[in-house]
Chain A
Amino acid sequence: AQKITQTQPGMFVQEKEAVTLDCTYDTSDPSYGLFWYKQPSSGEMIFLIYQGSYDQQNATEGRYSLNFQKARKSANLVISASQLGDSAMYFCAMREGGKVTGANSKLTFGKGITLSVRP
């Protein structure tokens, strides 16, 4: 079974509007972390936001927020006030297991969602 599922094939949003990118995950580990990365056409992977499984509040980083619904195992990324530079591929990823100082576990990635921002 896929551990990270991103089913939206492609998303379009008007500049300055908000957009939600969906991510569901599957794990039996009570301790895990969820991450979102952005990959523009240039290819680099840019870390956006992190949510821990025990975090009580949804994570926010500037225009990015993570809508974490633990019972539904979803971790959707919300981008507010979209900008043309937000056009990119977005990946949801999960780290399973608790944090072990300095020896952290791998990330498992979803297939990604393409976001296009229209002027």
Chain B
Amino acid sequence: DSGVTQTPKHLITATGQRVTLRCSPRSGDLSVYWYQQSLDQGLQFLIQYYNGEERAKGNILERFSAQQFPDLHSELNLSSLELGDSALYFCASSVSKGRGYEQYFGPGTRLTVT
């Protein structure tokens, strides 16, 4: 158990819909990262938040948005969903101390868009 929690574990929805994925980082971790894993694109960085502020953006679509709340949990909002958005979405949090500031991943949310 990495200490990072994600809900829901599975999500099935239809095209055009909007969903929200939730993530709680490890206790004390201020950085939260969102990644998307799909068969064709592999593991791709979407966005990073640090202590409530957006720090970096990767290949995140305009239909997607995220935020980090004062209690440090984060939400990834996906709207106008398309079939191609079906993927495993990971949240990771970064240790605040340590040699490599390694990222610990949550169990992921598997999104299926039908």
> CB within 8 Å of B: which residues of A?
33, 35, 37, 43-47, 50-52, 91, 95, 99, 102-112
> CB within 8 Å of A: which residues of B?
2, 30-31, 33, 35, 42-45, 48, 50-51, 55-56, 58, 88, 90, 92, 94, 96, 99-108, 110
Distance of A100 from chain B, by nearest CB (Å): 9
- The answer to whether residues A102 and B45 also contact, given A44-B2, A52-B99 and a CB cut-off of 8 A, is no
Distance of B50 from chain A, by nearest CB (Å): 5
Distance of A58 from chain B, by nearest CB (Å): 14
Whole-angstrom distance between the alpha carbons of A43 and B56 in the complex? 25
- The answer to whether residues A43 and B88 also contact, given A102-B50, A111-B42, A112-B42 and a CB cut-off of 8 A, is yes
Whole-angstrom distance between the alpha carbons of A104 and B100 in the complex? 10
Contact A106 B88 (CB under 8 A): no
- The answer to whether residues A45 and B90 also contact, given A103-B31, A106-B48 and a CB cut-off of 8 A, is yes
Whole-angstrom distance between the alpha carbons of A91 and B30 in the complex? 24
Distance of B86 from chain A, by nearest CB (Å): 14
